[in-house]
Structure 1
């Protein structure tokens, strides 16, 4: 049973379940463990934590004199948390969540720009601001997984460095849930995604934003960003082991050809493998200073070709289940000869999303937009292929699904 107690009442042998307050502002890389060393209790008190949760099924209980007060606190907190997550768990429509996601993205951009500026000046990352941002993104993904993930992809080329962090955070949250990780690990994954590229704050701007292919020397400079980011996060002594690991190893590949340590296979952690997939997907679907992003469906196809050497197969397959074979924003051809853009995934199958039809290839004319749920019983159309936007000279595809 979980009970909330005063930190001053901690005793060796108790099983610590959670430290109250901002979940990065403590000196431990994990928050669930059995207290065996009195020094750990002193460290908890020294960093200003007033209350903690213990699990009495895994360690000693608190004295009976304060048990009623503790149980009342547990009940009240659980009711509040249940209400929060019950609200988030109610799946919202794509259009409704897109409106919320637009606000979150605007707020997130400001926060990440500030975070990078502070990092450039040698200041520690604000754990409180980062945690609040991860929570907002996590709740949005819970309400409708596709909205914020797809909207964050529409970043301007000059915003790439900042909004890439937001997009990877959202992708990591969604992937963590698809893999069945608990909510604590989901938050860790989100925080790791948000901070994975912090080292780019120390990269020369003329190299980071170069509107062309990097020279070998310039690429060697950019390849230092995982190590730089790891050093910055380690110095602030607030980042968890998961965040540090993903920051350092999100460019490792399972065949050992990645960097900085050329790790191979199981030597790469689950979270770093997740980071590798999410980082690549957002990178290749985004407009960059030197190239236009690939369409989402083409990106998934390319990643499938690379997956044997680059990605862990279990992680990559879970990722595809998150975003779909035809992710939101993909241009597809229906068997009726009409073009449509994918606007939302459905629960039935990765092959039958909801689409918005807008163009007839037979008459070569735009038609009145029509939303079709390809998963509904009696649906008469199906997707034949994903299509190249440039081939059909479609200029407003994102406006068709994002509004």
Structure 2
């Protein structure tokens, strides 16, 4: 049986089923292993893990611990409660009108971040004035209709992950800030910080940055330095704002003090740093990597809820979930009718019932004429599960708007 335990309940003789830290490049070779000694327990505590899962068939038990299914049922209930709260995110422009602009912006942003990282490797400064117009365009696009750009930002390939992750964090921070009703000027500076938050990785050796596998403990220590390197780079860049610096400096801090580089606790982390940490983790755990399979978006949102008991501010996690939806746009889903479709648009007052473009029948294994279904108006069908584009050999670009 799989159970969730607190880290202070972990003892030698237990079998760890899941370290429960998909956002952390931990120093262990795998997420599942036998605990042989207290030194291993101490190492797990040191890296900031607060709760994890054990397999009681393969190792010692904790009698009163909740099962994985009980934990998941509670997270489902909490997601349902968040979905039922009213949101207020008016759409100014129809999705089809914004989609082409969003595709162009995404391409320009990926290219700009790649070129900027190359320039930094060659010893050049970050030129803020080159980045600001693009950030302004992304902010405006998401304010017009966020369902155009956010799905594109989720699409990444292994080789360009670092660049594409920065673009995705930028876009998600805009949607998050918009959902929080922050001033647009503040959101723009947060977005700039999001686009630049990993610029320090340009100073990390390629053998570590591009390693196709788990980092060693020493390599992990080197990787952590990217935050300080990024802050130093941006401090040397005329025109950088304090908000953008906070996003860069604090996106790996954690609410309980287990983060880095400062080990800051709760309100000692700025609002912008806290929001960036949530967005950074969400995008990281939903992305496919060489050594890491991305989670389905709703599963990732459950993980954020679970981790908000320690690592994140619970109220901010709930606000983030409301800002992007329970079934984020761009997700591939299967309906009860066995039809596959892509979530293309949110219904702001009914987050469990988005608009779906269906195009494939999984039961009969063939494509069907594409059809737009608004689940808030079509009561005969419901989302049954998330699916993988890779599993079904479907090109997501073909079915997203634009």
Shift of 1:301: 2.5
Shift of 1:298: 2.5
Partner of 2:68: none
The change in CA–CA distance for 1:373 and 1:385 in structure 2 (over 3 A counts) is same
Shift of 1:310: 2.0
> 2 CA distance for matches of 1:299 and 1:327?
11
The superposition leaves residues 339-365 of structure 1 with CA deviations (integer Å, 9 ceiling, x where unpaired) of 333121122211110012234455454
Shift of 1:260: 0.9
Partner of 2:386: 387
The structure showing larger relative contact order (alpha-carbon pairs under 8 Å, at least 6 residues apart) is: 2
> 2 CA distance for matches of 1:170 and 1:332?
22
The change in CA–CA distance for 1:136 and 1:290 in structure 2 (over 3 A counts) is same
Matched, 1:258 2:259: yes
Partner of 1:43: none
> 1 CA distance for matches of 2:256 and 2:396?
36
> 1 CA distance for matches of 2:396 and 2:332?
10
Secondary structure of residue in 1 paired with 2:182? coil
Preserved CA contact (<8 Å) 1:202 1:225:
yes
> 2 CA distance for matches of 1:90 and 1:364?
35
Preserved CA contact (<8 Å) 2:345 2:354:
yes
How is 1:333-348 mapped onto 2 (pairs within 5 angstroms)? 333-348=334-349
Shift of 1:329: 2.7
Shift of 1:320: 0.9
Partner of 2:179: 178
Shift of 1:104: 0.9
The change in CA–CA distance for 1:360 and 1:107 in structure 2 (over 3 A counts) is closer
Preserved CA contact (<8 Å) 2:287 2:295:
yes
Instruction: Name whichever of 300-309 and 392-401 sits farther off.
Output: 392-401
> 1 CA distance for matches of 2:163 and 2:204?
14
Shift of 1:388: 3.8
Corresponding pairs, count? 312
The change in CA–CA distance for 1:90 and 1:348 in structure 2 (over 3 A counts) is closer
> 2 CA distance for matches of 1:169 and 1:313?
21
TM-score, scaled to structure 2: 0.72
Partner of 1:330: 331
Preserved CA contact (<8 Å) 1:113 1:162:
yes
> 1 CA distance for matches of 2:371 and 2:167?
31
> 2 CA distance for matches of 1:212 and 1:337?
36
Shift of 1:200: 0.6
Shift of 1:237: 4.5
TM-score, scaled to structure 1: 0.72
> 2 CA distance for matches of 1:102 and 1:352?
25
Shift of 1:120: 2.0
Partner of 2:140: 139
The superposition leaves residues 144-175 of structure 1 with CA deviations (integer Å, 9 ceiling, x where unpaired) of 11221210211221111112111111111111
Tell me which protein shows more helix as a share of its residues: 1
> 1 CA distance for matches of 2:386 and 2:169?
25
How is 1:1-400 mapped onto 2 (pairs within 5 angstroms)? 91-376=92-377, 379-389=378-388, 393-396=391-394, 398-399=396-397
Preserved CA contact (<8 Å) 2:335 2:385:
no
> 2 CA distance for matches of 1:186 and 1:239?
14
Shift of 1:181: 0.8
Partner of 1:75: none
The superposition leaves residues 71-107 of structure 1 with CA deviations (integer Å, 9 ceiling, x where unpaired) of xxxxxxxxxxxxxxxxxx8733334323211111221
Shift of 1:382: 4.2
The answer for unaligned runs of 5 or more in structure 2 is: 1-89
The change in CA–CA distance for 1:90 and 1:340 in structure 2 (over 3 A counts) is closer
The change in CA–CA distance for 1:340 and 1:110 in structure 2 (over 3 A counts) is closer
The change in CA–CA distance for 1:128 and 1:258 in structure 2 (over 3 A counts) is same
Query: CA RMSD for the aligned pairs?
Result: 2.1
Preserved CA contact (<8 Å) 2:152 2:330:
no
> 1 CA distance for matches of 2:398 and 2:379?
22
Partner of 1:59: none
Shift of 1:285: 1.9
Secondary structure of residue in 1 paired with 2:308? helix
Preserved CA contact (<8 Å) 2:143 2:178:
no
Shift of 1:314: 1.9
Secondary structure of residue in 2 paired with 1:370? strand
The answer for unaligned runs of 5 or more in structure 1 is: 1-88
